[in-house]
Amino acid sequence: MSIRLPAADGGYRLYRPRTDPLAPLVCGPARSRSFYAAAHVVADPLAACAGGPDSQAGPPVDWEATLAFRHRLWAQGLGVAEAMDTAQRGMGLGWPAAAELIRRSAAEARAVGGRIVCGAGTDQLAPGGGHTLTAITAAYEEQLAHVESCGAGAVLMASRALAAAARGPEDYAQVYGRLLRQSARPVVLHWLGPMFDPELAGYWGHADLDAATEVFLKVIADCPEKVDGIKVSLLEAERERDIRRRLPPGVRCYTGDDYHYPELIAGERGGEPGSDALLGVFDPIAPLAARAGLALDRDDPAGFRALLDPTVALSRHLFAPPTRHYKTGVVLLAWLAGYQEHFTMLSGLQSARPLPHLATAYEQADLLGLFPEPERAEARMRQLLAVYGVAS
């Protein structure tokens, strides 16, 4: 097999796909770390572009394929982080569809004993500013109550509405303090950087990240018993290490750093424990992430790094600026791998990345052995090239 792929410089290169994919893996969860994959949703291609997140035509989600993908993650021992950024929250998946996704996924998780946490935010509020802190808190409370009523753990997602309304750090402390005091079980806090969502710039009341970190840690320190952990998605490894060292006992640090995750999960050579993980890149690299977790259970850090270090090139490519469009590559790889029958995304975001970017994602994923049937992946990549008028 060989395929002619477009390059970023406007030329072409001939690529010969590998023929020895990873063998199927079924295992229980790793014991040494908690690994969650932030999972994508499979769009219904007949409805995905019909009206956007507020359409009254019904959720544009292929429920069967979406839930089947989550079962694949659970079968490999990974937890599912549901209705998060990877599922196109705020980029095609509105709150009504997200609420249904949470309900369905939580029920499936209970049926198979799978681990699940779900995003709770404020995206039922109309876009733009002008919302009061009372309205923002009520929106959070509604979503938190829904997640908890479904029997899942909650991830308190960063709020665009709060970023627009807050006058300073004290407003963040007020909103988050109220939510933590009334939560039925410990939650995960999420600091999502502006590279993932530009509307979250200045979160925690400061543009300066050092000052914002102090606010973030103070919110945790005021109510540590209600915080299971924190997910840091800033793409700054040293900042995450500093935060991790300063957390109260019993509060986990879930890395959301899709650039430096192997080193952050592995921990320090001096014996400092590593981060747990809640990562969007674990969606496409699930078979390798699961194997890496088992290597840590065997006290084999070298084997762990040997499995995960080679995936960083793919992850950095998928999450290249504009980082918020990483979902396009994630969904492409799910289609090429045969986990869904089309390359269609909510709100038409399959067009958010140029063809050379998609071609490189295919090549790098194939080099890692991530396609169960390389021949099918190659054939589907040829189909995509043909749509763009490229002879392969």
Tens-digit pLDDT profile for residues 66-118:
999 999 999 999 999 999 999 999 999 999 999 999 999 999 999 999 999 99
Task: Specify the pLDDT at position 46.
Answer: 84
Question: At 270, is the pLDDT very low, low, confident or very high (cuts 50, 70, 90)?
Answer: low
Quick check: 109 and 146 in contact, CB under 8 A? no
Q: What is the mean pLDDT of the chain?
A: 94
DSSP string, 266-285: H--TTS----EEEESTTTTT
Tokens of 109: 């998780």
pLDDT-above-90 percentage for the chain: 91
Residue 362 has pLDDT above 80, yes or no: yes
Task: Specify the pLDDT at position 55.
Answer: 46
Name the nearest CA neighbour of 192 among 334, 351, 81: 81
Decide which of 293 and 60 is more confident: 293
Quick check: 288 and 307 in contact, CB under 8 A? yes
Cα 217 to Cα 248: distance, rounded to the nearest angstrom: 9
Cα 8 to Cα 162: distance, rounded to the nearest angstrom: 39
Query: Quick one: DSSP state of residue 299?
Result: T
What pTM was estimated for this model as a whole?
Answer: 0.95
Tokens of 85: 């950024």
DSSP string, 332-358: HHHHHTTSSS----GGGGGGSS-HHHH
Average pLDDT estimate for 120-131: 93
Cα 362 to Cα 356: distance, rounded to the nearest angstrom: 10
Torsion, CA 341, CA 342, CA 344, CA 346, rounded to 10 = -10
Residue 53 has pLDDT above 50, yes or no: no
Residue 185 has pLDDT above 70, yes or no: yes
Question: At 195, is the pLDDT very low, low, confident or very high (cuts 50, 70, 90)?
Answer: very high
Task: Specify the pLDDT at position 47.
Answer: 78
Quick check: 182 and 147 in contact, CB under 8 A? no
Residue 126 has pLDDT above 80, yes or no: yes
Task: Specify the pLDDT at position 8.
Answer: 84
Task: Specify the pLDDT at position 49.
Answer: 54
Residue 54 has pLDDT above 80, yes or no: no
Task: Specify the pLDDT at position 59.
Answer: 63
Task: Specify the pLDDT at position 10.
Answer: 87
Residue 57 has pLDDT above 70, yes or no: no
Question: At 273, is the pLDDT very low, low, confident or very high (cuts 50, 70, 90)?
Answer: confident
Question: At 58, is the pLDDT very low, low, confident or very high (cuts 50, 70, 90)?
Answer: low
Task: Specify the pLDDT at position 355.
Answer: 97
Residue 358 has pLDDT above 90, yes or no: yes
